[in-house]
Structure 1
Amino acid sequence: MKVTIINTGGTFNKRYNPIKGQLEVPSDNIALDKIVASCHNVDFEIINIISKDSLDMTDEDRQIICDAVKYSKNENIIIIHGTDTVHLTSALIKKQNIAKKIVFTGAMVPMSIDTVEATMNFSQALGFLSANVENGTYTSMHGVVVDSSKLVKNREIGQFLIQN
Structure 2
Amino acid sequence: MPLRLLTTGGTFDKHYDPLTGQLVFADSHVQQCLAQARFDSPPVVQALMAIDSLDMTDLHRQQILAACRESPERQIVIIHGTDTLVETAAVLGSARLEATIVLTGAMVPVEIEGSDALFNLGFAAACAATLAHGVWVAMNARVFNWRDVRKNRALGRFEPLTPPVP
RMSD over aligned Cα, in angstroms?
A: 1.4
**Alignment match of 2:139 (pick from 141, 145, 150):** 141
SS at match of 1:150: coil
Q: What percentage of aligned pairs have identical amino acids?
A: 35
**Which position in structure 2 is the counterpart of 1:16?**
16
Q: What displacement does 1:18 show?
A: 2.8
SS at match of 1:33: helix
Q: Is the 8 A contact 1:137 1:148 kept in 2?
A: yes
| Residues 52-91 of structure 1 aligned to structure 2 (within 5 Å) | 52-91=51-90
Q: How many residues align?
A: 161
SS at match of 1:127: helix
* Ranges in structure 1 where 5+ consecutive residues have no aligned partner: none
Measured against aligned partners, the alpha-carbon deviations of 1:31-54 in whole angstroms (never above 9, x if no partner) come to x21221133422411011121000
SS at match of 2:116: helix
* Ranges in structure 2 where 5+ consecutive residues have no aligned partner: none
| Structure 1, 96-105 or 114-123: larger mean CA deviation | 114-123
**Which position in structure 2 is the counterpart of 1:152?**
150
Q: What displacement does 1:21 show?
A: 3.0
SS at match of 1:119: helix
Give the aligned residue type for 2:123.
Q
Q: Quick one: distance in 2 between partners of 1:129 and 1:23?
A: 29
Q: Quick one: distance in 2 between partners of 1:36 and 1:115?
A: 18
Judged with a 3 Å threshold, the aligned counterparts in structure 2 of structure 1 residues 95 and 138 are, in CA distance, closer, same or farther, namely same
Give the aligned residue type for 1:108.
M
| TM-score, L = length of structure 1 | 0.91
| TM-score, L = length of structure 2 | 0.90
List, as ranges, runs of 4+ consecutive aligned residues in structure 1 with deviation greater than 4 Å.
none
Q: Is the 8 A contact 2:17 2:24 kept in 1?
A: yes
